[in-house]
Amino acid sequence: MNVILLGAPGAGKGTQATKLVEKYNVPHVSTGDIFRTNIKGQTPIGVVAKSYIDKGQLVPDEVTVEIVKNRLNEEDCQQKGYLLDGFPRNVFQAEELDKFSNVEKVVNVSVDLSKLLKRITGRRVCSKCGESYHVDFLNGKTDCARCGGELIQRADDNEATVEKRLAVYTEQTKPLIEYYEKAGKLVTVDGDKSIDAVFAEICEKLG
Ligand code: ADP
Ligand code: ADP
Ligand code: ZN
């Protein structure tokens, strides 16, 4: 299956992706995770990406599109398809993706924007596997329930950067809802519900 998870920062894309890849046995392709791996490894891509991510801006399209194109060309994606999380983030990226891959469905995880600041500033992620948690539900735990890795706060999950990311979402990413609606590929789920309820709605709509 070739599916995109679309949604604002903090909407729950990563959280749902973890559950979806288990159920559908499809590779999870997260551009944010790819950039963070490159930043950790201090690769040339990582150095470029960090300068934009720290400011809450999008990494330039020529870098991002190339990474996704290469990743989708790998054998696992060629065989099983993909669950794209965090890409595309603007109309240009969507048009480029249409040139090299056949997107089947786009799941729009819709969350009231007023809730996102709290979700993002309270987010803690596993430094090893990337799993997302929220301080409100961790009861003081500092390690990952899946792999035991240390939970950390992402450098870009601070209030100033979040405001910028939400503005970028509204300006550049939100128009993709209409883009995929016109293409007849969009399904929308209510991302304000509990994690399990959102998951159930996505599964139902993916069929
Ligand atoms: P995204 O990948 O879209 O940026 P995440 O999956 O990392 O979002 O989730 C952002 C934060 O919100 C995390 O702290 C996560 O635990 C929390 N979260 C995710 N889904 C829900 C939900 N349905 N209800 C409440 N909190 C959620
Ligand atoms: P979020 O939790 O905000 O959805 P991600 O982990 O998806 O965060 O992305 C983190 C950052 O990585 C973004 O704020 C952006 O700077 C960069 N990034 C991720 N995906 C893309 C993309 N498709 N195009 C450009 N920049 C991206
Ligand atoms: Zn982990």
Nearest to 172 by CA among 71, 92, 77: 92
Determine the length of the chain: 207
Residue 76 belongs to a domain: yes
- Residue 207 has what pLDDT? 86
C-beta of 12 in contact with ligand 2 (< 6 A)? no
- Output the CA–CA distances (angstroms, integers) from residue 129 to 6, 108, 114, 148, in the order listed: 21, 24, 28, 9
146 is catalytic: no
**196 in a structural domain:** yes
Q: What is the pLDDT of residues 119-138, one digit of tens each?
A: 999 999 999 999 999 999 99
Whole-structure pTM value: 0.96
Amino acid, res. 97: L
pLDDT digits (tens, 9 = 90+) for 84-108: 999 999 999 999 999 999 999 999 9
Q: Give the dihedral sign, CA 87/93/95/99.
A: negative
Among residues 154, 164, 174, 193, the one annotated as catalytic is: 154
The confidence score (pLDDT) of residue 86 equals 97
- Structure confidence at residue 14 as a pLDDT band (50, 70, 90): very high
Count the domains in the chain.
1
Amino acid at 84: L
55: containing domain:
2-111+170-206
**Residue 151 domain-assigned?**
no
Is the minimum distance from the CB of 169 to ligand 2 under 6 angstroms? no
Residue to mutate, 16, 29, 45, 53, ligand 2, most ligand atoms under 8 Å from C-beta: 53
- Report whether 94 contacts 176 (CB < 8 A): yes
How high is the pLDDT of residue 78?
97
CATH number at residue 94: 3.40.50.300
Q: Domain for residue 144, yes or no?
A: no
Rounded to whole angstroms, the Cα distance separating 183 from 5 reads 16
Contact 27, 77 (CB under 8 A): yes
Write out pLDDT tens, residues 148-198.
999 999 999 999 999 999 999 999 999 999 999 999 999 999 999 999 999
Residue 134 belongs to a domain = no
Q: Is residue 160 part of a domain?
A: no
pLDDT of residue 32: 96
H or E stretch including 39?
helix 31-40
Q: What is the mean pLDDT of the chain?
A: 97
Residue 43's H or E segment, with its range, is none
